[in-house]
Amino acid sequence: MGPREWVEKHVMGDGDLLCYGNLFDELEEAGAGVFWEELKRAAAPYVAGGRDRARAAQARVDDLIRTLLARDARFGYAPPFCHKGCANCCHQLVYCTLEEARAIHAHCLERAIAIDYGKLQRQLRHVDVDAAGDHTGTTTWDDQPDADRRCAFLGPDRACAIWPVRPLVCRAQLAEGTDAHCTPHNGEPDPEAAGITYVEVNYLISAVFTIHRDSVKKTMGRLLLDLR
Ligand code: SF4
Ligand code: SF4
């Protein structure tokens, strides 16, 4: 079975790829052969993984980013602007898989971290969904008061209260130079944004998102509300 057929069988199933970041550009740049091989390589451990595959995928993203940032530093690139307390990016809609949402829920129960379900409900009023409850891509997120745009897990110190179990997307969010452009405007990226993206990470998250597209499209807030 060639890599494309493998991905179609084990990752895509009956649906399309749910691409994270600019992965589709890679199809043109790298060529179809490399694209499907790399996607298979990124997806295979997750497909074969057991109950702990969500945690393993998060650890893999952390490792990849650490390694790639170290490589970039050797080439003379400045480190990302990101640091604790820098949290403009934590004011937007968050996507995660059901497995990630379960881990967050369990983490909060174990550590008595209160989840503000009222805020999650208010936020979801700004997320357009279809008959299946999947986010259509349309949002009025930025029309909310600032306090409601903040992630329910962003503490008063602007630190993430669930850092060890934060979703893949939160791990992959990096920017260079400034945090001024890290907030999208109702889903539209700021044209001035200078995000740091790594194709290796995009392959992995795209594979995970495609496998779990039914839950990912529900958004983290909806999944947590359903786990109450
Ligand atoms: S992505 Fe932007 S807002 Fe988020 S931590 Fe990095 S620089 Fe700060
Ligand atoms: S889960 Fe944590 S890192 Fe992710 S958006 Fe919320 S506060 Fe930020």
Say yes or no to pLDDT of 26 above 90: no
Mean pLDDT of the 66-90 span: 95
pLDDT of residue 183: 85
Per-residue b or e along 180-207, where b marks 16 or more CB atoms closer than 10 Å to that residue's CB: ebbbbeebeeeeeeebbebbbbbbbbbb
pLDDT of residue 69: 97
| Ligand 2 atom at minimal distance to the Cα of residue 220 | 1
pLDDT digits (tens, 9 = 90+) for 153-204: 999 999 999 999 999 999 999 999 999 888 888 888 888 888 999 999 999 9
Q: Is the CB of 153 under 6 A from ligand 2?
A: yes
Say yes or no to pLDDT of 121 above 90: yes
Mean pLDDT of the 117-142 span: 97
Q: Is the CB of 151 under 6 A from ligand 2?
A: yes
Query: Considering only CA atoms, which residue is closest to atom 2 of ligand 2?
Result: 160
Q: Is the CB of 27 under 6 A from ligand 2?
A: no
Q: Looking at 25-70, which runs of residues are DSSP E strands?
A: none
Bin 205: left if φ > 0, else alpha if -120 < ψ < 50, else beta.
Answer: alpha
Query: Considering only CA atoms, which residue is closest to atom 8 of ligand 2?
Result: 90
Nearest ligand to residue 88 Cα: 1
Mutation pick for ligand 1 pocket among 89, 192, 201 (CB with most ligand atoms within 8 Å) = 89
pLDDT of residue 110: 98
141-147: list long-range contacts, CB under 8 Å, 24+ apart: 141/92, 141/93, 141/186, 141/187, 142/183, 142/184, 142/185, 142/186, 143/186, 146/91
Say yes or no to pLDDT of 28 above 90: no
Query: Considering only CA atoms, which residue is closest to atom 4 of ligand 2?
Result: 170
State how far the Cα of 119 lies from the Cα of 161, in Å rounded to an integer: 16
State how far the Cα of 86 lies from the Cα of 159, in Å rounded to an integer: 8
pLDDT of residue 104: 98
